Every structure is written in structure tokens, then in C-alpha cells.
Chain A
Amino acid sequence: MTDAATRSDCPPRRLPSHLPSHPPRHLPPRAGLGLKPEHYGHVLEHRPDIGFFEVHAENYMGAGGPPHRYLEAVAKLYPLSLHGVGLSIGAARPLDKAHLSRLRTLVERYKPQSFSEHLAWSTHDTGFLNDLLPLPYTDETLARVIDHVDEAQQAIGQRLLLENPSTYVLFADSTIDEIDFLEEIAARTGCGLLLDVNNVMVSSVNHRLDPRTYIDRFPVERVGEIHLAGYDETVDGAGDRLLIDAHGSPVKTDVMALYEHALARTGPVPTLIEWDNDVPDFATLQAEAVRADALIVREAARRNRQTRAA
């Protein structure tokens, strides 16, 4: 295993000076929801008490029409998080310049409080592979991802939050621990991290790691947002538990407990409920947000008590 501390000696020279390391406007430390077309009308009519909304950038890359009309209206009422699922930051091939330009257009138009992407790859000669594929953690991939995160931040003109992946396989070639890998990227590019707690559970179970240890080792000072979602469960070829990052059900109890554990380290952080498949009615989504908000409030209160006691 390479020593991350040595590599961190390189100065974080890559964040251009015109990019504030802390964006002037933040997402609030509240629960947020993914904004789905089936809920546009409800949200605008009832203006539910939700901390922020998040959209997948790729769904707003058309020239016009209802998606932009509604997003414009919602972005006037709520803080907005723009979440990319197609930039393929972990690819060996160069980033798609046209895609970067489309992202920049969206950032300029909607001025989101946060922009995030994944530590994954999805591009190939045959086209876009439409999944978040895993990469080995080596010095070569680390250098590649650092270049790509740097290029993306320059092109988009905003600091990026990089999300920890959920994975189903490991690479024999990997020489760097995932958390060290993420921390080094952040140290070298000035990017923040998006801590997906469901992904932590999925990867930890899948690779026989302790999810709490993962959280305990995570550089929480770099976390700008947390994601929560529901996983599916099956078994692999040997009958071992295999969790699938499915985004189609309520957040599981063990992930909520892990989230509570994470909050104790991060403090109150903007927290998104991800539910992208079999999207339920808005009330069901809002109930999930209420669960997360309750834990955020409890953590804030706990910190207040600690401060007073001190």
C-alpha cells in the first residue's frame, strides 16, 4: 500500500485561485430530495418544507421544455444540488469536452449551491455504458482522476464534490486504500467529498469490511454532502451477501444507524434521499426526508449541549 501521507506533501496547487475553496452559498444542513418530473406540480403548488432539491444534470441537457421551466421555478424557491452521473471521471480516456461544456452551461444557468460527480467511469468506444463502473486504485488511476477532477473544476468553474462508489468487485491491481485514494484527490485538487452512506454499507458488506470503521476513517472535514438510499440484497456465486445500490426503496435501518454514526463525526450536513427507480408519491419521499432531518436536528442539539457543557 502506498503511503498517502507522503503523496499529500504535494501542495494543493491545482485549485485555481479564482475558485473559492468554499462556495459562497451552501446547501443547508437539512435533508433534501431528488426532484422528479412526476412531482414538479406538487412541489410548486405546496412548497413542501424540504432543505434542498437535487437533480441529475443529464436530465436537464435538452434545449428547452418543461424540465427547464420547472427547474427554474424550483431553483427560485429551494437551494439546488446538481449531481452528474455521466462525466466518467475515472476513465482512462480524456473527459468529453462537449459534456463538460453542457455542465458549465447548466451551472451558469442555475447557479447550483453544489455540484457533485462520481469516482467511476462509464465511457467506451461503443458509446456511453450507462453505469457507474469501478476502477482499480493505483498510482496511475490516481494521477488520471486528479487530472480529470482538476479539468472538470476548471471547465465548470465550480468546486466539485466527489462521491465514494458502491462496488461489487475488487481489483487485484489495487495498491491504495479507497479512503486514502479519495483523500489524496481532494488534497491535490481542492475538491470536496460526497459521502454516500448507502454506498459505504454496500461496499463494506460486499468486501467484508466494517462500515463503521470506514466512516471513522473518512476525512469528514471534506464532506460537503451525504447521500442516503435503499439497497437491494442478493447473494454472490459463493453464497456471500451481495448488496446492490438500487435507489428504489426506503433507506434501510442499518444504513440509518450508520448515518447517525456518520453525523456524529461530520456534524449536521446536507443529506440527500436518493430514490430514482419506482419513484413513490411525494409524501413517501417526504417521510424519508423527515427521518433524516430528525437525526440532523438531534446531532445539532447534541453538539449544542456539548458546547454549553464546555
Chain B
Amino acid sequence: MSLAASQEDFAQALLHAERPLPAGITTARGQPDAARFAVYRNNVYVGLTKALAQRFPVTERLVGAAFFTAMARLYAQDNKPASPRIIDYGDDFPAFIAAFEPAAELAYLADVARLEAAWTRAYHAADAALPDLSAVAAMAPDALPNLRLAAHPSAALIRSPHPVGSIWGAHQSATVPPMEAWDAETVLVVRPDMDVNVHIVPAQDGIFAQALFGGAPLGEAAEAAFAHEPAFDFGAALVGLHALGAFAGIHQGDVP
């Protein structure tokens, strides 16, 4: 058998426990041994589910280790890392959780996982200096609507009908404090320097930031936020989001 054919055979047996052992594997006794081949099967899936547990610790805490491992194992069955760059593994695990029937009762689970996926993306994102906002303050008011602000490479917004930021925050300590309220939350995940921060921001600020991150000019982004909340405070939102590190550049006209 060619090396390509033998590795395909090996991989199929590795990935599907119901398949027979690959042809040609043996032991010093001269007999193939299923328990030995199972070490490789186990390594693949234990390695992948462990990688997911490391990336999604709050998600794991919310459902318990046994449920999480079973869910992660099912995800890993059909979703292998796209490359050896394992730090990206699980980018679409939140979408899998959203469609995972046994977890449907925990409607907020997928959004917590989205937050955790954003957290590790922010951790590994490109570093970028924060722009100087004082230039904006000095601008003629009619220049402002056309201004564009580029998202910081680490920045991500999670808009959820659930208190996703509060749930995540409550599970950062050993003992989980009771939830005081159960409201929709918008969360900004961002790493302005070396620490990844998770901020709960007003919903209208989230809409504003989302529009800016999508490339909309300031005027258009502000209109979207006003449409959601007439009391939207444009200046406070801009200064506030900037102070959290949400932006990496200010441009007149199109973002280059």
C-alpha cells in the first residue's frame, strides 16, 4: 500500500471508532491490538476537547465538565482544526452550541461562548496603538459626520438578549454571586494593551460602535444609535469607547 493510501486508512480508522483497525498495523507479538490503536483515537479527541475547554472555561462551568466534554467531542467529530495553528480552534464552536439541541434550555450559552471566543481572539490579535482623539475635538463640526474610526484589531462586540457580560463576570471567581437582574447586554471585548478587558456598554453605544467597526462614517453610526435610543449621547459614547480602546485609527473619508 502506498504511504498516501495507508495514511488515509489510518486516519479513517482514527476518526471513526466503528471502523476496523487500519490494515498493516501490528505489535511486537505479531497481532494487531485495538487497545493500542485506541490510544491514538483518544489522543486526538482528548486533545481537541481539552483545547476547547481551555478556550471556553465559563461555558464549561455553566454546563459541567461531563456535558461540555460530550458536546465538545461531538463538535470535534465533524470539526477538526483548519490548520496546525490550534489557537484558532473553536472559532465556530459558539455557532455549533447555538444549534445544539441538548443545550437549548440554556439560551444564553452560545452567547457566553461567543464572548469567550472573542476573548482569545483579542488575546492573540495584532497590537495597535490607540489614536489621539484631541485632533477630533479641534475639528470643524461639519467635518465630524464624515469621520471614520477603524476598529482596534482586538475589538469585538457581542450583542445578546441575555446578560452575557454579567454571567461571564460572575463566573470569573470561585463562588458565583447571584445575578441581580436579567437584562439584554452588549459587551465590548478589547485589549488596548496586554490585558483583555470585557466591558458591558449601553446598547446604543454598541450599535454605534458596531456601525463604526463596519466602516460607517460617524454621522451614519450616530443616526443608527439615535434610532435605537433618542437619548443617545454621541460625545460620551465616542469618548467612552475610545477610552476603552475600541479604536485604532481615525480617518477623514474612507478607511484605507
Chain A residues with CB under 8 Å of chain B are 58-59, 61-69, 85-88, 91-93, 96, 98-99, 102, 121-124, 126-131, 133, 135-136, 138, 140-141, 144, 168-173, 206-209, 235-238, 240, 242, 244
Contact = CB atoms under 8 A, between A and B. Distances in A.
A170 B35 contact: no
Interface string B57-81: 0000000000000000000000111
A64 B125 contact: yes
Given A62-B124, A123-B84, A130-B81, 15 more contacts: A59-B87, A61-B85, A62-B87, A63-B126, A63-B153, A66-B194, A85-B84, A98-B83, A99-B85, A124-B80, A128-B80, A131-B47, A172-B25, A235-B35, A238-B31
Contact of A236 (B36, B40, B87, B126): B36
30 contacts: A58-B86, A59-B86, A64-B125, A65-B124, A65-B127, A69-B194, A85-B84, A86-B84, A92-B4, A92-B7, A93-B4, A126-B15, A130-B80, A131-B44, A136-B24, A168-B37, A168-B39, A169-B25, A170-B26, A170-B27, A172-B25, A206-B36, A207-B27, A237-B33, A237-B35, A237-B36, A238-B33, A240-B27, A242-B36, A242-B39
B86 to A, nearest CB: 6
A117 B43 CA distance: 19
A136 to B, nearest CB: 7
Given A127-B81, A208-B28, A242 B125 contact: no
A275 B44 CA distance: 18
Nearest to B31: A238
Interface centre among B7, B10, B48, B125 (most CB of A within 10 A): B7
A85 B10 CA distance: 19
A237 B32 CA distance: 9
B187 interface: no
A128 B86 contact: yes
Contacts of A236: 27, 33, 35-36
A173 B84 contact: no
Contacts of B194: 65-66, 69
A99 B28 contact: no
Given A98-B83, A238-B31, A244-B39, A171 B24 contact: yes
B82 interface: yes
B123 interface: yes
A65 B47 CA distance: 24
B159 interface: no
Contacts of A208: 28
Contacts of B122: 65
B140 interface: no
B153 A88 contact: no
Contact of A65 (B25, B83, B123): B123
Given A66-B194, A140-B2, A236-B33, A170 B83 contact: no
Nearest to A70: B194
Contacts of B25: 169-172
Interface string B85-105: 111000000000000000000
Contacts of A63: 124-127, 153
Contacts of B8: 124
A99 B125 CA distance: 18
Contacts of A65: 122-125, 127, 154, 191, 194
B86 A86 contact: yes
Contacts of B15: 124, 126
Contacts of B39: 168, 242, 244
A87 B35 CA distance: 27
Contacts of B127: 63-65, 68-69
Contact of A170 (B3, B7, B28, B51): B28
Contacts of B2: 92, 140
Contacts of B26: 169-172
Contacts of A92: 2-4, 6-7
Contacts of B83: 86, 96, 98-99, 127-128
A91 B24 CA distance: 17
A207 B11 contact: no
Nearest to A103: B84
A238 B29 contact: yes
Nearest to B195: A66
Interface in B155-179: none
Contacts of A58: 84-87
Contacts of A99: 83-85
A269 to B, nearest CB: 27
Contact of B40 (A59, A66, A85, A131): A131
Contacts of A86: 83-86
Contacts of A168: 36-37, 39-40
A67 B34 CA distance: 40
Shortest Cβ-Cβ A-B pairs, 5 listed: A86-B84, A127-B80, A62-B124, A92-B4, A63-B126
